[in-house]
Amino acid sequence: MLESIPFLWRDRKRVCGLPLTFTRYALSEDRLFLETGLLHTRLEELLLYRVRDISLRVSLGQRLFRVGSVLVISSDKSTPELELRNIRRPFEVKELLHRQVEEMKIARRLRVGELLAGQEAEEEEED
At 61-98, the pLDDT tens digits run 999 999 999 999 999 888 899 999 999 999 999 999 99
* Cα dihedral 17/67/59/34 (nearest 10): -100
H or E segment and range at residue 106: helix 90-107
pTM equals: 0.78
| 3 state DSSP class of 86 | strand
Is the confidence at residue 121, as pLDDT, over 50? no
